[in-house]
Amino acid sequence: MPNNLLYFERLMLLSIALGVITAVVGVRPYENDFERNAEFSILLVQALVLGFIACITFLVTRMQSKIAKWAWIFVFFIGLVIYVPYFNEMKEHLTGLMLIGQFFLQIVATCLLLFYKRA
């Protein structure tokens, strides 16, 4: 496996681990059933997104799939458009800072994927 793909995989797995930690830290005590259901839904969506990112990461690195590479780049830029407007609000909370760190890891990994040899 080329070095850039190896580093891409490691950074993305670190990003996924940070996402799991963020999800665990972000869980609050429930005050009623509505909040319990809402929290479960949020955790479910986070698990699905992290699972999708893990699948794309392994397709890009292990199978060296060009389609998965461009699918990741497309999904990454969609996330960029969604997350950047909220960075000022995120930096006020621990979970927000962790999300910014996760996004930074993904930026570095995507740059490795795009701009280095044998990508």
Taking a C-beta distance cutoff of 8 angstroms, is the pair 66, 59 a contact?
A: no
pLDDT at position 119: 44
This prediction has a pTM of: 0.81
Average pLDDT over residues 33-42: 71
pLDDT at position 29: 61
pLDDT tens column, 38-97:
777 877 888 898 899 999 999 999 998 889 999 999 999 998 888 888 777 777 778 788
Helix axes 66-83, 94-115, angle to 10 degrees: 140
